[in-house]
Amino acid sequence: MTPEQMSGVLSSVAALLGAVLWPVLVLVLVIMFKSEFRKLLKSDDVTFKAAGLEASFQRKQVEAAVALGAATAKQAAGLTPEAATSPARVADALAQALPDERTQKHLEGSVVLWVDDRPENNVYERQALEALEVRIDLAESTDQALALLRQQSYDLIISDMGRPPDRRAGYTLLDKLRASGNQTPFLIYAGSRLAEHIQEARDHGALGATNRPQELILMVVGTLSSRPAER
């Protein structure tokens, strides 16, 4: 699809949906036409105009939307039709998760430690954060995470739950940190977001727990954007 054809698609659909859904529409189309949008990204800022409407995005925001959309699609592929989130709700969640320009500036330079023995499971989520200029260090075990934490401080830690042979490795790491006085914000990104599991994570000292990419990014952005300017 050429840039001219892309503009035609945007114009036609925007005319049907109107101004209220325009920002969400752009995010959905970014995900649908990933390769075509990448051809348009020759500058740091991208502006779309259609049907008297205009929306501007920084390159990093578009790339983050693409990665987050891919993460959402990957998750949805493993769900039953009854459990899958509707496209409209996905688009709305994406629009909420991506930071505005002011918040984006505050994210730059932040450093996250991501602990997961299978990092290939969250490639897209990490790409979304990296597109927003968040640096991510990876650890595949509790011991490796503790070693990294002895070397430097982090603005946030994201951890899965089970890492063989410890089925509650996320809590094992969190409990060790809190017992040592380390109060780095901590999120559990695992297979459940049941109310009891979220409460259990908070009882251990985490900010919360989720298994949804959009909610994770929203929580990460909220946490990092509230950090002090100087660590």
φ/ψ of 170, rounded to 5, equals -60, -45
Whole-number pLDDT of residue 94: 54
Q: What CA dihedral angle connects 33, 10, 48 and 58, to 10 degrees?
A: -30
Q: In Å, what is the CA distance from 182 to each residue of 133, 162, 202, 206?
A: 25, 21, 15, 12
pLDDT for 78 equals 54
β pairing state of 53-58 and 45-50: antiparallel
**CA gap 16, 182 in Å, rounded:** 52
Look at residue 79 in the predicted model and tell me its pLDDT: 46
The arrangement of strands across the sheet holding 156-159 comes to 135-139, 111-115, 156-159, 186-189, 208-210
Question: How many CB atoms within 10 Å of residue 44?
Answer: 8
What is the per-residue pLDDT for 22? 42
Q: What is the pLDDT of residue 12?
A: 43
CB 212 within 8 A of CB 68: no
For residue 191, the model assigns a pLDDT of 86
177: Cα within 13 Å, side-chain hemisphere: 28
For tokens 């578009």, name the residue.
Answer: 62
Q: In whole angstroms, how far apart are CA 105 and each of 31, 133, 154, 226?
A: 24, 9, 18, 12
Tokens of 35: 């390769």
The predicted pLDDT at position 151 comes to 96
CB 225 within 8 A of CB 185: no
pLDDT at residue number 165: 93
H or E element: which one contains 45?
strand 45-50
Task: Decide: pTM greater than 0.85.
Answer: no
Query: Mean pLDDT per 10-residue run, the chain (231 residues)?
Result: 47 41 48 50 49 50 63 57 48 60 82 96 87 93 97 97 95 97 97 92 96 88 80 47
Pairing state of beta strands 45-50 and 186-189? unpaired
